[in-house]
Structure 1
Amino acid sequence: MTTDGQLLRVEMIGPLRVTGPDCVDITPQGAKNQGVLALLMLSPGMRRPRRWVEDKLWSSFAPEQASANLRQALSKLRRSLGPWEDVLGADRSSVWLDPARLHVDVLENEFRIEDGFDLLEGLDVRDPEFEDWLRSERSRFADRVGAARPALPGGLLIRCRTSLNGTGLPEVLGDILANRIGENIAEQVRAWRQSGRHVDAGAEDRGDLEITCDLMDSDGRLHVFAKVVHLPSARILYSKLQPIVSAETILGSDDAICAMIFEAADRTLGRLPLAIENARPEARATALARLALYRMFTFQPDALREADSLLLQAHEVDRNGIYIAWRSLIRTIQMIELLEPDLAALYEETQMLNHKALEQGADNALVQALVSQVRVMAMGDAAGGLELAERSVDRNPAGGFGWLSLAVARMLAGDHRQALDMSRHARSIARHSPFRHWWDLYHCIVSVACNEPHMAIEAGEAAARAAPSFRPAHRHLLALYALDGQLEKARAVAERLARIEPGFSLDRLVNDDAYPVRTLRSKGLLEPIRALL
C-alpha cells in the first residue's frame, strides 16, 4: 500500500507543479508534455485512448505525426519523472497514470479556496481542441469553488407594518415604531426592511421577520401592541403591550418607548439563531456574536479572549463592521483592566480595529456608539468620541449604547450634569438587557464624577447583583462604602474582590496609579479606604 509520504504531489490550482516525496520539483518542461499530464489527471480513472490524447494536443496533425508526437512526449515525461517513471503507463491503445501513487490537489474532496487562482494557470498549449477542453474544466472547477465557498449573507428580509384600532393617532406613528425596531435589529445582523402595507404579497415575498405595531384605543387609553414574528415558522420572537401617553412619546426619546424598541430588538436577536436556518450566514454570525457578548461582559481574561475569537469567526462568516467594533471594545477592556502583558500592542490593535469598524460600518449607529466609547475610554479623545456619539443618537434615538457613549463622552468633556441625565436615560432604555450591568456600571462612574455618591452606590449595587463576578462594580462599591462610613460592607467587598480578582489588594487599589479606578482616583475617593489597611 502506498503511503502519503511515497506519493507524487501534483498542484493544478495555479500553475502546474509536480513534486516527489522528497519535495524535489520534477515538473516536466514544455506545454505539450504538461498537457499530456493534465489531460490524464482530469480523466476518469486517469486513463484515455491514445487517439483521444492526440486529438486534444495535435488536432491539426496527420494521425501518423500526432502518434509520433505523443510517443516523444511520453518519453520526455518518463525522463522528467525519473525514479517515478512507472507512474506513467502506455500500451498500443491507451495511456494512463497510476492514481494510487498521485496526490492531485484539485481531485481532493476538500481543496484550498484561494481567490485569484485558476486551474492550470499559464498552460498555453495552443491547440483549439485542448483550449476547448481546458475552458470546460475551468468552468467545472469554478462551479466546485462556488459550491465549496461559504454562502455570502444576503441579509434578513424584515417586513414592518402597522394597523389602527379606534385610535386618533396617525398610522405613520406605528410605522415609525416598527421601523425603529427593525433598525435596531439591522444594527447587529445584516438585514433589509420592507414595507408591509401590501397585504396581497405572494408567498415568495413573505420574508424572514414581520414586525407589527398595532395602535389601539381602549376606553380612552392608548396602547401599542408590538410583535416580532418569524414568518416561515410563525414563531413569535417578541411581543409586548405598551401604553402610550401621547404621540410625542413615539416621536421623541421617551424612556418607556425607547426601552420597548431596544428590548424588542435584543430579544429578537437572542432568539433569531434558533429560528432561522443554521446554514444561513446570518444565523451563524448572529449566534457567534451573541455568545461572544455573553462572554465579553463578564470581563474575565479567558472569556474576553474567547469572545474575540468568536467575533473573528462571525466576521469571517459575514463581513459586517459591527463585529470589528465589538472586538475594538474588547481590546479596550483588556487595556483598562490590565489583562494582557503588551499594552502598547493592544493600543495599536485597538486603533486599527476602530478605524476598520468605521470603514465597514460607517452608517451603523451601533458601530458609531462603540467606536465612540473606545475613543473616549482608550484614547482620551473626548471631541472625536462626542461627535460619533451624537451621530449615533441622532440616527437611532432608541439606542441604549448610543446614549451611554454620549454620556461617557460628556463626562470626559466635563459636562457632568448632562452626562448624568444621558446616563440615566441610557440605563432606562437598557433595563431589560441581559447585559444591563454595563449600563449600571457606567451610571455608577458618571454619578461619582457628578459628586452623587449615593446614586453611585445604588447603580453599583445593581451592577453587582446582575453580575456577581463583575470586578469594576465591586471596586467602585468598595470605595463608595468606605466613603459613606459603611466599613463592614467595604471589608466584605474587599474579601470578594480578593476571591474573584487575582493579585488584588487594598494597597494596590489605593497606591497603584495604573489600577483601573481612574474616576475614583481623580475625585480623591480612594483615601477613605486607608482606614481598612
Structure 2
Amino acid sequence: MSDHGDKLEITLLGPLALTAPGGDVLTPKGAKTQGLFALLACSPGYSRSRVWLQEKLWSDRGRPQAAASLRQALIEARKALGPLEAILQTTRTTVQLDTSRVWIDLEEPDAGDRAKSAEFFEGCRIRDPEFRAWMDVKRAELSGAAPARVTPAALGRSILIRRDRPVAGPDGLLASMFLDTVEKTLTEATSMQIVHAEAARSNPMLSLSAEAFLDSGQGGLRAALEEGEFQRSVWGGTVSFTFGGTDFADNPELLKLAHDVYENVTATLIRRNQAETASFDATLRAQMAIRKLFTFNPEEQAEADQLFLQAFERDPRGSYLAWRVMLRVIRQVEQHDGIDIGMPEEIDEFAARALELEPSNSMVLAAASNAAMLVRDDFLAARELAERSVRANPANPFSWDCLGISHLMEGRSESAHRLQLRARHIGQSSPFKHWWDMGCCLTATVTGRFEEARQYAEAAAALVPDFRPPLRYLTAIYANERRTDDAYRVMRRLNTAEPRFSLDRMVNDPDYPAAALKRSTLASKELLQILR
C-alpha cells in the first residue's frame, strides 16, 4: 500500500519505478518509455514540448520518425498506467503529468542524502547521446559535481578566419576590417570557436577568406567559405562599390556581404546537423528556433521558445534571452491568440537579464530597444539602445530595423524610411527577408509612398502565408487604389489567420496593431465606406 494517498509514485533514485496507490508496480518495460517518465518527472510543472522529448530520446532520427516513436511510447505509457492513464496528459504540442496526482522521490527533503548511495535512473538502457548527456547532467547535479561543458570545438563548430597572408596598405586594411565585422557577428550570434591562425592539428569546420582592392575611390571585395580539411567550396560572394572612407557603417554593400557570410555559416551548421547524428548544441537550437520564429505560425513559435530555452540552459548567453524577448514582443504586438508568452513583466525581465549577460551584443541591444519601445513606450531609451546596437555591429540588420522603428515612433518618418531601407538591403539574402520588407512597408506607408508600400507588403505576404501585418496593409492599400476585389481577397486570408479581425477594429480600435496605417490617410472612415 502506498504511503502517499492516491498518488502515482515515481522513484528515480535507483532503478526507475512507477507504483500505483494500491502498491501495484506499473513500470513500463520499454527503455525509452521509462526515459519519457524520467524526463517529465524532472521537468518544470512535469511538462515538456513534444519536440523537446523527441530530441532527447530520438535525436538520431528525422522529425517524422521521432514523432512517430514518441506516439508509440505514449501508447505504451498509457497501457502501463492502466486505470491511471489520465495522469498522462497530452496536447498537439506538449506532454505532461497531472501535478496533483504524482509523488516523486527527488522532491523529498532527504533526496540529496539518498542520492549519495543510490544512482539516478540506475540501470538505464537508453543509448541516445542526447538522453545520456541529460542524464549525466542530472547525476552530476545530484552528486554535487559540475558536469563537463561541451565546447564548440569538440562538436566541430569552429571556423578559421584566414589572416595568414596579410596584405599591406589600404587593400589589406579593408579586408581586415571586413573579417573583423564577420567575426563580431559570429561571436554575437553563435558559440562557434574562432580560429585566427593555421594550427598543425586544427581541423575547423569552415574557413573564411577575403580579398579586397581599392583604386581611385572604387573598390571591390570577395569573400569565400570553404568546408573541411579538403576545403570544399561552400559559398562565395563579391561586391563592388565606391569607397570614400574606412567606416563600415557607411557602406551598405560591405555590410550586406558580411551578413551574407553569417547566413551561409549558419545554413551550413544546420545542413551538417541534419546530415549527421551529432549532438544538437546551443547554437544549432537557437538557429533552428530563429527560423521557426519568423514563420509566424503559432505552433512553430511555441517550439521556437522551447528551443531558445534549451539553448540558454546549455549555454547561458544573453543573445538567447534576447530572442525570447523578440518572440514575446512580436506575439504581444500582433495579438496572437493561444499560448501566453507575451507578458510585459517577463519581457522586461528577460531584456534586463540579457543586458547583464551581454551588454555589448547588438542583438541583445536591439531586443532591449524593442522592449523599451513597444512594452514601456519609452522612446528615448529605445532610440539610445538602438543606436548602441548599430555601433556594436552595423552588419546586423536587426540593429538598423529597431533604429528605424524608434525614429518612426518619434515622428521622424523620412529618416525612419532610410534606416529601414538599409536594414532591408543588408538582410535581403536572409531567410527573413519578409521582416525587412514589412518594415519598409510601414515607413513607406507613413511617408505617403503607397505604391512602394504595396510592393513591399505583396512581397512579404507571398513569402509567409501566416504573416498578418502585410495582409492588413494590403487591405487598406488595395481599397485606396479602388482594387476592391483584391482587397476582399486579402481580407478573406486575414480572416482565416486572424478570426477576430474586422475593418472596424482596424480603423477605430486604438490598441489594434496597425499604427502606421492610422498615421497615414489609409485607415479612415472612407475605408469602411469603400469595403462595406
What is residue 124 of structure 1 aligned with on the other side? none
Aligned length: 414
What is residue 171 of structure 2 aligned with on the other side? 170
- CA offset at residue 158 of structure 1? 3.5
The CA deviation string for residues 287-342 of structure 1, in whole angstroms up to 9 with x for no partner, is: 32222222211222222212111211222222222111111111111111222469
Instruction: Output the TM-score relative to the length of structure 1.
Output: 0.68
* Cα distance in structure 2, aligned partners of 1:104 and 1:422: 58
Amino acid paired to 2:422: H
* Cα distance in structure 1, aligned partners of 2:481 and 2:10: 78
Unaligned runs of 5+ in 2: 1-6, 24-116, 125-134
Change (3 A) 1:237 1:179: farther
* Cα distance in structure 2, aligned partners of 1:496 and 1:401: 28
- CA offset at residue 154 of structure 1? 6.0
The CA deviation string for residues 213-248 of structure 1, in whole angstroms up to 9 with x for no partner, is: 012589997432201223446343321122243363
* Cα distance in structure 2, aligned partners of 1:10 and 1:331: 35
* Cα distance in structure 2, aligned partners of 1:8 and 1:250: 62
* Cα distance in structure 1, aligned partners of 2:292 and 2:327: 10
What is residue 180 of structure 2 aligned with on the other side? 179
- CA offset at residue 162 of structure 1? 5.1
3-state SS of paired residue (1:379): coil
* Cα distance in structure 2, aligned partners of 1:195 and 1:8: 51
What is residue 298 of structure 1 aligned with on the other side? 295
What is residue 188 of structure 1 aligned with on the other side? 189
Residue 328 of structure 1, aligned match among 325, 330, 333: 325
- Checking the alignment, whether the CA contact within 8 Å between 2:355 and 2:364 is kept in structure 1 is yes
What is residue 151 of structure 1 aligned with on the other side? 150
Change (3 A) 1:348 1:223: same
What is residue 527 of structure 2 aligned with on the other side? 529
- CA offset at residue 408 of structure 1? 0.6
What is residue 160 of structure 1 aligned with on the other side? 161
* Cα distance in structure 1, aligned partners of 2:357 and 2:490: 42
* Cα distance in structure 2, aligned partners of 1:230 and 1:296: 28
Amino acid paired to 1:529: L
- Checking the alignment, whether the CA contact within 8 Å between 1:182 and 1:211 is kept in structure 2 is no
What is residue 483 of structure 1 aligned with on the other side? 480
What is residue 432 of structure 2 aligned with on the other side? 435
Q: Does 1:272 align with 2:269?
A: yes
What is residue 234 of structure 1 aligned with on the other side? 231
Change (3 A) 1:315 1:237: farther
- Checking the alignment, whether the CA contact within 8 Å between 1:358 and 1:368 is kept in structure 2 is yes
- Checking the alignment, whether the CA contact within 8 Å between 2:351 and 2:368 is kept in structure 1 is yes
* Cα distance in structure 2, aligned partners of 1:293 and 1:387: 25
Change (3 A) 1:215 1:488: same
- CA offset at residue 481 of structure 1? 2.0
* Cα distance in structure 2, aligned partners of 1:268 and 1:465: 26
Change (3 A) 1:9 1:440: closer
What is residue 455 of structure 2 aligned with on the other side? 458
Amino acid paired to 1:186: T
* Aligned pairs for 1:406-445 within 5 A: 406-445=403-442
- Checking the alignment, whether the CA contact within 8 Å between 2:248 and 2:255 is kept in structure 1 is no
The CA deviation string for residues 77-100 of structure 1, in whole angstroms up to 9 with x for no partner, is: xxxxxxxxxxxxxxxxxxxxxxxx
* Aligned pairs for 1:85-484 within 5 A: 105=120, 107-109=122-124, 110=135, 113=138, 117-118=142-143, 146=147, 151-153=150-152, 156-161=157-162, 169-196=170-197, 201-205=198-202, 207-216=204-213, 222-232=219-229, 234-246=231-243, 248=245, 251-275=248-272, 284-340=281-337, 346-484=343-481
The CA deviation string for residues 17-48 of structure 1, in whole angstroms up to 9 with x for no partner, is: xx9x999xxxxxxxxxxxxxxxxxxxxxxxxx
* Cα distance in structure 1, aligned partners of 2:12 and 2:457: 64
- CA offset at residue 9 of structure 1? 7.4
Percent same amino acid at aligned positions? 27
Amino acid paired to 1:189: T
3-state SS of paired residue (1:187): helix
- Checking the alignment, whether the CA contact within 8 Å between 1:164 and 1:214 is kept in structure 2 is no
Amino acid paired to 2:492: E
* Cα distance in structure 2, aligned partners of 1:294 and 1:524: 34
- CA offset at residue 381 of structure 1? 1.9
- CA offset at residue 194 of structure 1? 4.1
- Checking the alignment, whether the CA contact within 8 Å between 2:191 and 2:282 is kept in structure 1 is no
What is residue 45 of structure 2 aligned with on the other side? none
Let me know the Cα RMSD of the aligned residues: 3.7
Q: Does 1:514 align with 2:511?
A: yes
Unaligned runs of 5+ in 1: 13-18, 24-101, 120-141
3-state SS of paired residue (2:250): coil
Amino acid paired to 1:532: L
3-state SS of paired residue (2:236): strand
* Cα distance in structure 1, aligned partners of 2:199 and 2:471: 56
Change (3 A) 1:163 1:117: closer
The CA deviation string for residues 176-206 of structure 1, in whole angstroms up to 9 with x for no partner, is: 112212222222102444434xxxx432245
Amino acid paired to 1:190: S
Change (3 A) 1:232 1:501: farther
Q: Does 1:495 align with 2:495?
A: no
* Cα distance in structure 1, aligned partners of 2:441 and 2:217: 40
3-state SS of paired residue (1:243): strand
* Cα distance in structure 1, aligned partners of 2:216 and 2:414: 40
Change (3 A) 1:451 1:158: same
What is residue 81 of structure 1 aligned with on the other side? none
- CA offset at residue 493 of structure 1? 1.4
- Checking the alignment, whether the CA contact within 8 Å between 1:250 and 1:257 is kept in structure 2 is no
3-state SS of paired residue (1:308): helix
- CA offset at residue 474 of structure 1? 0.9
Instruction: Output the TM-score relative to the length of structure 2.
Output: 0.68
3-state SS of paired residue (1:203): coil
* Cα distance in structure 2, aligned partners of 1:159 and 1:521: 50
Does 421-430 or 158-167 show the bigger shift? 158-167
The CA deviation string for residues 153-173 of structure 1, in whole angstroms up to 9 with x for no partner, is: 569543323588999743121
